[in-house]
Amino acid sequence: MPLVFAMNDESESDHVYDDRFGISYEYPQSRYQRLVRSGELFVYYRGRKKKGGGRQPQVYLGAGVVGPVRPSPREGRLVCEILDFQEFESPVPFKDAHGAHLEPNGGRKGYYRPGVRRISEDVYERILGLGGFPPAPSNAAEGLGTSGYADPGETREVEDYAVDVVTATLAARHPDAEIEVMARNNPGFDIHVRRGGEDSFVEVKGTRRPAALFHMSEGERLFSHAHAEDYSLFVVFGINLAARTHAGLVETPGPVAAPRVSLEPRQWVGEVVELPDE
């Protein structure tokens, strides 16, 4: 589940942490080690206490992805890197226009005291939407239809946009190359680049999320390893279909694997091989 990182001028507990906005986040190991995991999505929350005294509005400041976690120089603490961070154009108030907390339990006494807390996918998406990022689902990086499942038409639009962006990037980089966009669902790669008698294979992922997150089949992952020397993964993120824009483009050459890419299994394929006796 997504997380909220409290980014306070002064913490409610009066503890001081070495937090670097958009770069790294320090937290107590004993309390939050199981919550803060590499690859988790999060939003920044700024509390009401101001440095030196006084109060300020409680707001959400931006969103990112938890990166590698390491021990802090301070005993009993951990530090995680912040990846793919994007600050909201304007801070998002912690209550909506009707005075309701964006986090449903926000009215409970002491709710905002923890430095790290979980929120639901719906709350996360709502905060991002209010921050200027288009909504995105928990089980697909492109979009949800009104039924709660990925909208096939919109998914194709996101994929096509991402392929167009990467194709243009490759054409500018290799003006003499033959660049072929493969048929949809081609196993292993989306773009075939031929230049100087050499072939290279490009897999393209597109997402409306403000971070370079993607979904990959096991077949695609294995292909990246089998053709590691001639393979690249491109992720186009922060796609706005209406404006035909995107926040960024990242390229990862070689096999899709740590430490450059964080992979986490989200689904298992199972088969019952031994039936119970009747």
29: left (phi over 0), alpha (psi -120 to 50) or beta: alpha
Between CA 233 and CA 140, with CA 267 as vertex, the angle to 5 degrees is: 55
The predicted structure's pLDDT at residue 8: 65
The predicted structure's pLDDT at residue 267: 60
- Model confidence at 152, pLDDT cuts 50, 70, 90, reads low
- Model confidence at 91, pLDDT cuts 50, 70, 90, reads very high
Residue 195 neighbours by CB distance under 10 Å = 15
pLDDT digits (tens, 9 = 90+) for 28-59: 999 999 999 888 889 999 988 776 678 889 99
Residue corresponding to tokens 């030196």: 52
Instruction: Choose from 97-111, 149-163, 260-274 the range with maximum mean pLDDT.
Output: 97-111
| 66 has a pLDDT exceeding 60 | yes
Lowest mean pLDDT among 116-125, 242-251, 265-274: 265-274
Write out the two tokens for 146: 């009104």
Alpha-carbon distance of 180 to 174, in angstroms, equals 13
Percent of the chain with pLDDT over 70: 86
Alpha-carbon distance of 219 to 262, in angstroms, equals 17
Alpha-carbon distance of 240 to 143, in angstroms, equals 11
Cβ(208)–Cβ(134) below 8 Å: yes
β-strands 59-71, 248-253 pairing: unpaired
pLDDT digits (tens, 9 = 90+) for 126-142: 999 898 875 544 333 44
- Model confidence at 12, pLDDT cuts 50, 70, 90, reads very low
The predicted structure's pLDDT at residue 149: 37
Alpha-carbon distance of 208 to 135, in angstroms, equals 7
Cβ(256)–Cβ(216) below 8 Å: yes
Task: Reply yes or no: is the peptide bond before residue 91 cis, omega within 30 of 0.
Answer: no
Alpha-carbon distance of 25 to 82, in angstroms, equals 7
| 7 has a pLDDT exceeding 90 | no
- Model confidence at 273, pLDDT cuts 50, 70, 90, reads confident
Please give the average per-residue pLDDT across 79-83, as a whole number.
88
The predicted structure's pLDDT at residue 53: 72
Alpha-carbon distance of 71 to 94, in angstroms, equals 31
- Model confidence at 208, pLDDT cuts 50, 70, 90, reads confident
Cβ(145)–Cβ(135) below 8 Å: no
Task: Give, for 169, the enclosing helix (H) or strand (E).
Answer: helix 152-173
Write out the two tokens for 86: 């994007």
Rounded to 10 degrees, the C-alpha dihedral 251/142/220/196 comes to -40
The predicted structure's pLDDT at residue 119: 94
Lowest mean pLDDT among 4-8, 82-86, 246-250: 82-86
- Model confidence at 262, pLDDT cuts 50, 70, 90, reads confident
C-alpha radius of gyration, the chain, whole number = 21
Alpha-carbon distance of 158 to 142, in angstroms, equals 6
Instruction: Name the residue with higher pLDDT: 81 or 134.
Output: 81
The predicted structure's pLDDT at residue 146: 34
Q: 62 vs 102, 131, 164, 204, 211, CA distance in Å?
A: 15, 7, 28, 26, 11
Residue corresponding to tokens 């003499």: 176
